[in-house]
Amino acid sequence: MRIEDDIARVEQYIRELEWRIEHQQEVIAQAEASGLSTDRARVFLLFLKQTLGMSRDHLARLLTDEVLASRSPDGGTDLGQ
């Protein structure tokens, strides 16, 4: 798989996580408005936020690899792929 494909895949995953976080926040607000417990929903929200952070870190590494590959004389074929 090319690095551009990896970048696109991680960017899509980040968009999905952002949507899921927004949805989970809505679920929590609705539960609070109904007087329901939000403990589990908040734990899941924390998990989503942590996963988003790791995905953004992964994207940053991929973008760095892409820049290094474009500067390398061999076109970046030696990035451990």
* 25-37 pLDDT, tens digit each: 999 999 999 999 9
The band of 72, judged by pLDDT with boundaries at 50, 70 and 90, is confident
Go through 29-45 and write b for each residue having 16 or more CB atoms within 10 A of its CB, e for each that does not: eebeeeeeeeeebeeeb
Q: What is the mean pLDDT of the chain?
A: 92
What pLDDT score does 73 carry? 74
What pLDDT score does 13 carry? 98
Residue 2 has pLDDT above 80, yes or no: yes
From residue 61, how far is each of 39, 45, 65, 68 by CA, in Å?
Answer: 34, 25, 6, 10
Residue 78 has pLDDT above 60, yes or no: no
